[in-house]
Structure 1
Amino acid sequence: MSFANKDELLIAKNMVAIIQKNKSWLSEIDGAAGDGDHGINMNKGFTLAAEKFTPEMTMSEALLLISQILMGEIGGSMGPLYGCWFRGLSRASGDRSVIDAATLQTMFDKGLSDLRTLTPAQPGDKTLLDVLVPALEALNAAIATVASEEAALSALKSAAQDGFDATRAMQARIGRASRLGERSIGHPDAGAGSCLLLLSAFADTAILLIEQGKAHATTPE
């Protein structure tokens, strides 16, 4: 099963909502190794984007709007990084009327490849890559076994959680937190935290939409 791009502004709305709900938590974990403004900046960018959503927007159009706001309206390093990622998600799906397993794979492949044009970070450096890379690997592995879209999205979400949890034991090797050296060990990475939230919101909403589509398809006229 799949869902229609033209009808699913809900995915973008729920990605905004999860950042808004967890802005304090993001700033709290950022304060352990950074300047404590990650939640503030992310909330600002996502809220500004949500204010410009229109009911007619497709999922891809809303994701592109988030990209534009993040790159143009919030400070720090995370705005351009996430802006680039969202732009990749949008461009890989913009011409697709149906979001199915193959499109999901293309979207997250493109998002990651675009993000990597801006950062030299690799898994193990204690960044959002420690969530994105294993999440994408899990998605691709599930799709390769001809798993359902729901199973593939659940695998993505589970791997994202594991990736975030693993950052706690890592020493930061890139970004502001790297200046702390070994003192960065013992705290999860804030960028990894926001990435976990965004992937979870995407996966949970997409699974809900797919299940609703199945229920509708089996409801007798």
Structure 2
Amino acid sequence: MSATEVTLDQLAAWLRRFAEIVEQNKAYLTDLDSAIGDADHGANMARGTAAVVTHLDEANTVDALLKKAGMTLVSTVGGTSGPLYGTLLMKMGMATGAVTELSGEEFSKAFHAGLEGLIARGKTELGDKTMVDALTPAIEAFDAALADGADVHAATESAAKAAAAGRDATTPLVARKGRASYLGERSAGHMDPGATSSTYLFDALAEAIGT
């Protein structure tokens, strides 16, 4: 396997590591959500990602893995996070086909399809103080790194850094979507929990691709 490919095993490791990071940080995610949301993001995401892990060994193609993970999140994560994360992964799976590895460009195509699906479902855009504020710069950074000749691992590390910067940039924003939007100006000054868990998604990806 060259550094230009992402394998099925790495994608399974990605989702497994994401579940671990969410579990480790579920109290923090809930604290963030208690300030501007329903105080359940950490518990909901931990429950959903743990359920995803139980199905990771069932899939033998990339599309099956991502679609099953997405459907599991939709059915087990409460609130808006389940449908949004679920849509992200399901749309990614629909874009890959029944393969066992992806090139960096193919992985990028899948991410773009997932993000487009998430945005359509959430009716949200960059600057709304949502997970899109972490996902969009991460995917753009991934693309930019590939265009500069980086291998997939280096591109995922660039994506993780960009996701973190996007997450941090949500703090001063006034929320325009979700429960946080009900607070109006009072939502400013708080980091968005969805953008935070989205950053964990890319942290986990960089770790998994690097192994």
Deviation at residue 55 of structure 1 after TM alignment: 6.5
1:182-201 CA distance string (max 9 Å, x none): 11111100100110111110
Aligned: 1:141 with 2:149: no
- 2:170 aligned with 1:167: yes
Deviations 1:20-76 (A, max 9, x none): 111111111001101100011111111122223326645543332221111122221
Given that 1:5 and 1:96 are in contact with CA atoms closer than 8 Å, whether structure 2 keeps it comes out as no
So what's the TM-score if we normalise by structure 1?
Answer: 0.87
Aligned equivalent of 2:201: 198
How far, CA to CA, are the matches of 2:203 and 2:61 in structure 1? 20
Cα displacement (A) at 1:120? 1.9
Task: Answer with 1 or 2: which has the greater Rg.
Answer: 1
Structure 2 unaligned blocks of 5 or more: none
Identify the range of structure 1 (99-108 vs 178-187) with the bigger mean alpha-carbon deviation: 99-108
Percentage identity across aligned positions?
A: 35
In structure 1, give the amino acid aligned to 2:79: G
- Structure 1 residue 40 corresponds to structure 2 residue 28: no
Alignment pair present for 1:106 and 2:83: no
Q: For residues 139 and 53 of structure 1, what CA distance do their matches in structure 2 show?
A: 25
Deviations, residues 76-133 of structure 1 (Å, cap 9, x unaligned): 1111111000112222234333222112211211111111220221111100010011
**8 Å contact 2:6–2:152 — kept in the other structure?**
no
Report the count of equivalent residues: 208
Q: Is the 8 A contact 2:172 2:190 kept in 1?
A: yes
2:9 to 7, 10, 16: 7
Asked whether 1:82 is paired with 2:79, we answer: no
Q: How many angstroms apart in 2 are the aligned matches of 1:181 and 1:6? A: 43
* Letter of the structure 1 residue corresponding to residue 205 of structure 2: F
Q: Cα gap change, 1:63/1:21 in structure 2, threshold over 3 Å: closer, same or farther?
A: farther
**Cα distance in 2, alignment partners of residues 153 and 52 from structure 1:** 24
Kept in 1, the 8 Å contact 2:16–2:53? The answer is yes
Partner SS state of residue 32, structure 1 = helix
8 Å contact kept, 1:45–1:66:
no
Distance 1:6 1:127, change over 3 A: closer
1:9-158 to 2 correspondences below 5 Å = 9-54=12-57, 57-158=60-161
In the aligned structure 2, how far is the partner of 1:184 from the partner of 1:156?
26
- Give 1:177's aligned residue: 180
Contact preservation (8 Å) 2:62, 2:99:
no
Tell me whether 120-129 or 10-19 shows the greater mean CA deviation: 10-19
Contact 1:93-1:107 within 8 A present in 2 as well: yes
**Higher mean C-alpha deviation, range 112-121 or range 50-59:** 50-59
RMSD: 1.7
